[in-house]
Structure 1
Amino acid sequence: MKISVIVPYEGYYQYLKDCLESLSEQENVEIETLLVGSQDDQKFQQLVDTYKDKISLNVIPCSIEEGVAKKRNLGLENATGDYIYFIDSDDYIMPQTLSCLLQDAMQKDLDLVVGRRWITWFKKQVFETMGDEKNEELNLKDKDDDRNHKFLEKDYSDIDDSDEQRRIDLLIRAKKGIRNISVLNILIKRTLIEENHLRFNEDFIYYSDLPFVEGLVMYGHKIDFNDKTLYAKRKHNDPINTPALSQIKDETKFDEFINVYKYAISLVDKESRIRYYLDSKMIKYYSNFFAKKIRRSKDDFWRDERFDQMSILMQDVRDDLLKNMSRYQRKMVKLARNHDLHQTQKVIAKHLAKNKMKKILKNKNEINKYLYRHKYINEPIEENWVMFETFMGKSYADSPKYIYEYLAKNYPGKYKFIWVLNDPKEKLPYEGIIVKRFTKKYAYYLAKSKYFVFNIRQPLWFRKREGQVFLETWHGTPLKRLAFDQEEVTAASPTYKSQFYRQKQEWDYLIAANKFSSDIFKSCFMYT
């Protein structure tokens, strides 16, 4: 039995190498790899030449601008295997994944076999070196896996057409939200696809998986879950320069999300089980994600035309699932059906305030952030206040020290100096106020100071106000790769690059000690 592996190429050569390498490591299984993408790139062609014999690689020409749906459909039209398997070009799988899936499919005569997924920011070598324990510690395991295991243990004996319910549970219900419904790491009998004319809807760029998976649920029969497989779904740690499809910022995504939901529910009867769970996910999306946009977004379209769209959708969700929703969710649906934006905003504000209070009770620093965002930041900026911080308040040192001493000596009485120092025993050579990092006073001075002189990044929750001036002096000479010059981020948060990109935009000035540092800072910080 042969597996046709379909790989839509999205243009990131450095990720594709791991993908193809992982396919070359699959043992005890015959595969053909259908790589759909542009052949214009020289590095792409070199990679193809390296792997064409190892994995029976067949390149199907397609413009890089074409969507994933189009590329997957081209792969299906050229597939000759008995089974179909989709893998994205920036992902990779562990050895034995395909052989385990195929063994299950053949021994149990299954139409569909679902495997485990693990979300990661790391390339294959790093992921394998860290192992399951370290990845678990980083909390990147796909939470849908736990849901799948829950449904494996479920007793289906008292359910009519239990195979359909099992397919719904594993492919739709177990997925957190509509966005996470995916064809990835599912081995699919090819006859199921061809006999039912299943194809990806090419009108959708970001969410084309949902209708296709819906077709698998509708027309498939026997399904099972194999926990010996592992698919690494890779997030890109540089979403600024090389974003994954899910990381692209695009205002049209919301409209497509709504349209794909409407298209998906049009394919099934309103009383169907599939419709029940899709409606349930839409209510949760509305009350959890969309509600925050109504409350916090500066863009009025979340409260105008988009609220109008959600009100229409909520009119048509199934009434029988509301009894299983929380009181807050039921209230949100009722208000949306009445198109009552004013009362909706009041309910959301109360709900978010309740959640914030829970956070504050768990973490005392949350109250200081709250005061910063909702009180201090609304007070006037003090024109002569200068705030200094080095190494997160650990020491009185580095460039901020000398800038402070120069100002204090040459402009006596002109400025009020605030130093962030965690050791209360620290003494300043000139006048100044010492505050401990992340305290209430810290939040107060962060909101009201005119000038900032730091040698590290500012807190993520800091928002530079109009009129504030931020001088970044950075610490040391960059003899190691930093920020955007790093290929892989393993010693910091995997969202380090996207965080850094936002934070550096708040710097008005960046000091470099020498030309060597200056050249590197321009590159690694993307700072002009």
Structure 2
Amino acid sequence: MGVSIIIPYHRGEHFLRDCLDSIVEARLEEYEVIIVRDVNRLNNVDEEKSILQLLEWYKTVLPIRDFTLLDKTGVAAARNLGLSKASKEYVYFMDSDDYLIYDGLSKMLQVASSSEVAVVYGTMCLTWFKRYTFLKTDKQEMYKDSKDVATDMVKRYDVSDVAEQLFREEVSVLNMLIKRSWLEESGLHFDEANEFYSDLSYVTGLLARSTSDDTWICSRSKTYAKRYHNDTIQYPSLSQVKANNRMEQFLDAYVASKGYIRASSEDLTDLLDEYCCRFLLQNYEKSYHGKNDPVLTETTFGAYSIALHDMNNRVFINFNKQQQQILMAIRNNKQEKAVKIANKMFMKRKKKGLFGNTIQRARALDKFIFRRLPIKRNWVMFESFGGKSYSDNCKYIYEYMLRNYGSEYRFIWVMRDHKIVIPGNPVIIKPNTYKYLYYLARSKFLVFNSRQPIWYNKRKESVFIETWHGTPLKKLVFDMEDVHSASLTHKEDFYKVSRKWDYLLSDNSFSTEVFEHAFLFDKEKIVEYGYPRNDLLYADNADEIAGFVKQKLGIPQGKKVILYAPTWRDDEYYSHGKYKFSLAIDIEQMKQRLGEEYVLLLRTHYFVVDQVDSLCGDGFVYNGSRYQDITELYLASDICITDYSSVFFDYANLKRPILFFTYDLEKYREELHGFYINMETEVPGPLLQTNEDLIQAIEHINDVEETYKERYNTFYNRFCGIDDGHAAERVVEKLIRG
């Protein structure tokens, strides 16, 4: 007995790799993998060539048969073609963006062979992560099963019992092992005219045709990982595709499903009707319904009114009072009443309007008041790290303008702490306040080094200069396969805000290339001027500044300074935007062996919310995390220790020793981010795994410098070649003054 695994494919080569790798390791014996490629949905010829090359390789380890949809498109057509080519006793449906969990399918086959069943359906596990991450870190325990079965293997003879399990979540043929001869006898086909909901009528048809002789078995064991998509821009899942005809297509699938059910099957009818009502309510309740609402067109409303009119009253008792009111209004063809109730529920939940939550108030004020005021052409607004500091590229652009054109402009700085002294007497405002909204709407030039609020809608007359905050080592945004940060909508959010940037500042050609594909950003808008924050590293009075910084921090004269500036870990956080800090360095051991000559200056990433004061005060450890400008800390230090932070790209301008404390290199590279350069061969210093390695490197720092001298020079020429002390001048003269 064998199985034909049917996989439709249209886009997402990285998804398919995970899918096929999981089949390789599934311990199957007699099987075939039928891949149906929907070439009409590929972006270009190169993408088609790439997937063909991938399949050729996998054919060396899997019994793959691949076919092409030429004059048709869609998942339904692909599955129908796959079914027509299947040759094994059982068929099994997968999506190319999902993967098997361990040997779950093999166990399902064992159950099928021992019981002569029609269908074995397994338990899905929902995940946001690629297969490597999911299996290695056991993140599957974070997600509930989509189907909760009371015992490990349960026989289901009553069709209504089976249907109750399947209709509990989104109805799908995925993870179903079905006897092929039984399928052929049913004469069922997927509805190729239905892009989104062909599974509903197909599964309902199978249930309706089942008799007491057709055994369905449900497995409680996790057998299938259903993967959510974190990239709705490049690789949206079918459920994320924006389409105005979803309501119509669901209704078509519902009507087709009704046609399969015998009049005597009241239980199955009620389950299908309740499923339809849940779908309808989800679409009604999730958004505000105004004019030209595609969800509530007159045609759609009338069709659903007819559908609900035929439902038995007992279907509606499982919904709350307001939901019943909406359903009854639709049933009685009272569209205005249904809209009124749905909008009332939405407004109560979202508090839509001027007196609602912060975002809603911001949108209202911006739209109805501030955006109607004229742009002030000599106003320049600066924001660095969300208002956390007076630093980075924004600071040096501002100070250049202040020195050369101070009387011609009105400067606005966004600062959370108003006690921080900023030269030039600019207007100081706090982020996300009414003043913030006012100046955001009226300033001609907006100079930020990180993302602006997602709700901000830039005016056409304003100029948004995104200076960014570092040459990228870690993979960014659309180059990341997994998103481990607190916000799983990171990619979509980033895409929305970055479309409003007029210019993106780059420090080198390497960064320009990365920004283009990592941000999906227009190369014509990326300007390679160098980073203004690095101008200070070439200042004539750099030594004087270094002495001032040491004095300000209380570092004793004669002590050498080790700057430790690690990055944050995406998977270590309290909540959205608030990350933990775990110190990996053994401070006591370092103090004992290096304390006579050195002090340790800690500088955490700006995302981190933990305070490091408790580690300081012993005369060896100093807290530089609150110091406004890390560039000044570079000048004050003799050695830099980092890991995967971009600080070493800037620090290399000084040509001072850099050590990389990469104790979790494999996890960070393979699981959390991945890198753009080869850490082992390209960074200008050694990779150190243990505290002992780190301390010994510092004790023999002259030998380290000599060993890495040639690599350091190569690195400097590649990444620091544009920086010359005049980057701020180029930005101002070309983008603001020009």
Q: Does 1:244 align with 2:237?
A: yes
Amino acid in the other structure paired with 2:260: L
Amino acid in the other structure paired with 1:245: L
User: What is the aligned partner in structure 1 of residue 30 from structure 2?
Assistant: 30
Contact 1:368 1:440 in 2 (8 A): no
Contact 1:200 1:208 in 2 (8 A): yes
What secondary structure sits across from 1:425 in the alignment?
coil
- Measured after TM superposition, the shift of residue 38 of structure 1 is 6.9
Long gaps (5+) in structure 1: none
User: What is the aligned partner in structure 2 of residue 95 from structure 1?
Assistant: 102
Matched residues in 2 for 1:109 and 1:21: separation? Answer: 29
User: What is the aligned partner in structure 1 of residue 69 from structure 2?
Assistant: 62
What per-residue deviation string (whole Å, max 9, x for no partner) do you get for residues 492-525 of structure 1? 7443322222221122333334444334333322
User: What is the aligned partner in structure 2 of residue 496 from structure 1?
Assistant: 490
Q: Does 1:52 align with 2:50?
A: no
Amino acid in the other structure paired with 1:234: R
Summarize the Cα distance change of 1:48–1:525 in structure 2 as closer, same or farther, 3 Å threshold.
closer
Matched residues in 1 for 2:424 and 2:338: separation? Answer: 54
Contact 1:293 1:302 in 2 (8 A): no
Alignment equivalent of 2:161, drawn from 166, 190, 193? 166
Alignment equivalent of 2:499, drawn from 480, 495, 505? 505
Q: Does 1:517 align with 2:511?
A: yes
Contact 1:311 1:337 in 2 (8 A): yes
- Measured after TM superposition, the shift of residue 188 of structure 1 is 1.5
What per-residue deviation string (whole Å, max 9, x for no partner) do you get for residues 431-487 of structure 1? 344444445665665566665321111222333356554332211223443223445
Q: Does 1:214 align with 2:216?
A: no
Summarize the Cα distance change of 1:238–1:64 in structure 2 as closer, same or farther, 3 Å threshold.
farther
What secondary structure sits across from 2:506 in the alignment?
coil
Amino acid in the other structure paired with 2:186: N
Q: Does 1:266 align with 2:256?
A: no
Q: Does 1:336 align with 2:330?
A: yes
Alignment equivalent of 2:84, drawn from 72, 77, 89? 77
Contact 2:124 2:226 in 1 (8 A): yes
Long gaps (5+) in structure 2: 40-44, 523-738
What secondary structure sits across from 1:510 in the alignment?
strand
What secondary structure sits across from 2:53 in the alignment?
helix
What per-residue deviation string (whole Å, max 9, x for no partner) do you get for residues 50-108 of structure 1? 33353332233433953222222222222222221111222211221112112233344
User: What is the aligned partner in structure 2 of residue 184 from structure 1?
Assistant: 174
Higher mean displacement: 481-490 or 320-329: 481-490
Contact 1:6 1:85 in 2 (8 A): yes
Q: Does 1:21 align with 2:16?
A: no
Summarize the Cα distance change of 1:371–1:447 in structure 2 as closer, same or farther, 3 Å threshold.
farther
Summarize the Cα distance change of 1:26–1:514 in structure 2 as closer, same or farther, 3 Å threshold.
closer
- Measured after TM superposition, the shift of residue 293 of structure 1 is 4.3
Summarize the Cα distance change of 1:416–1:349 in structure 2 as closer, same or farther, 3 Å threshold.
farther
Q: Does 1:232 align with 2:225?
A: yes
What per-residue deviation string (whole Å, max 9, x for no partner) do you get for residues 250-309 of structure 1? 33444322322222223225773233223223323333323444526x744444434444
- Measured after TM superposition, the shift of residue 376 of structure 1 is 4.8
Contact 1:200 1:212 in 2 (8 A): yes
- Measured after TM superposition, the shift of residue 375 of structure 1 is 4.2
Matched residues in 2 for 1:342 and 1:105: separation? Answer: 52
Summarize the Cα distance change of 1:347–1:464 in structure 2 as closer, same or farther, 3 Å threshold.
farther
What secondary structure sits across from 1:4 in the alignment?
strand
Matched residues in 2 for 1:514 and 1:34: separation? Answer: 46
- Measured after TM superposition, the shift of residue 187 of structure 1 is 1.4
Summarize the Cα distance change of 1:303–1:218 in structure 2 as closer, same or farther, 3 Å threshold.
closer
- Which structure 2 residues correspond to residues 234-383 of structure 1 after superposition, within 5 A? 234-269=227-262, 272-295=266-289, 299-305=292-298, 306-356=300-350, 367-381=357-371, 382=373, 383=375
Q: Does 1:129 align with 2:136?
A: yes
If you compute each CA radius of gyration, which structure gives the higher value, 1 or 2? 2
Amino acid in the other structure paired with 1:131: D
- Measured after TM superposition, the shift of residue 193 of structure 1 is 1.0
What secondary structure sits across from 1:511 in the alignment?
strand
Contact 2:4 2:91 in 1 (8 A): yes
Considering only aligned residues, what root-mean-square deviation do their CA atoms show, in Å?
3.4
User: What is the aligned partner in structure 2 of residue 400 from structure 1?
Assistant: 394
- Measured after TM superposition, the shift of residue 185 of structure 1 is 0.9
Summarize the Cα distance change of 1:45–1:342 in structure 2 as closer, same or farther, 3 Å threshold.
closer
Amino acid in the other structure paired with 1:368: T
Summarize the Cα distance change of 1:517–1:25 in structure 2 as closer, same or farther, 3 Å threshold.
closer
What secondary structure sits across from 2:146 in the alignment?
helix
Amino acid in the other structure paired with 1:321: V
Contact 2:326 2:338 in 1 (8 A): yes
Higher mean displacement: 400-409 or 22-31: 400-409
User: What is the aligned partner in structure 1 of residue 194 from structure 2?
Assistant: 204
Amino acid in the other structure paired with 2:34: L
Equivalenced residue count is: 503
Matched residues in 2 for 1:27 and 1:163: separation? Answer: 32
Matched residues in 2 for 1:311 and 1:6: separation? Answer: 37
User: What is the aligned partner in structure 1 of residue 529 from structure 2?
Assistant: none
What secondary structure sits across from 2:236 in the alignment?
coil
- Measured after TM superposition, the shift of residue 328 of structure 1 is 0.8
What secondary structure sits across from 1:477 in the alignment?
coil
Q: Does 1:144 align with 2:151?
A: no
Matched residues in 1 for 2:335 and 2:365: separation? Answer: 26
Higher mean displacement: 457-466 or 72-81: 457-466
Contact 2:288 2:343 in 1 (8 A): no
Percentage of pairs with the same residue: 35
Contact 1:36 1:74 in 2 (8 A): yes
What per-residue deviation string (whole Å, max 9, x for no partner) do you get for residues 339-396 of structure 1? 4444333322321232236x99xxxx98322321344542133533654321122211
Matched residues in 2 for 1:524 and 1:64: separation? Answer: 34
Amino acid in the other structure paired with 2:410: Y
- Measured after TM superposition, the shift of residue 405 of structure 1 is 4.0
Contact 1:392 1:437 in 2 (8 A): yes
Q: Does 1:6 align with 2:13?
A: no
- Measured after TM superposition, the shift of residue 489 of structure 1 is 4.0
What secondary structure sits across from 1:8 in the alignment?
strand
Alignment equivalent of 2:456, drawn from 462, 469, 472? 462
Amino acid in the other structure paired with 1:222: T
Contact 1:200 1:209 in 2 (8 A): yes
What secondary structure sits across from 2:182 in the alignment?
helix
Contact 2:26 2:103 in 1 (8 A): yes
Name the TM-score, length of structure 2 as normaliser.
Answer: 0.61
Matched residues in 1 for 2:145 and 2:463: separation? Answer: 42
What per-residue deviation string (whole Å, max 9, x for no partner) do you get for residues 97-142 of structure 1? 112112233344432222122233433223222223xx444xxx36
User: What is the aligned partner in structure 2 of residue 426 from structure 1?
Assistant: 420
Q: Does 1:111 align with 2:118?
A: yes
Name the TM-score, length of structure 1 as normaliser.
Answer: 0.83
Amino acid in the other structure paired with 2:102: P
Matched residues in 2 for 1:29 and 1:211: separation? Answer: 32
Contact 2:26 2:102 in 1 (8 A): yes
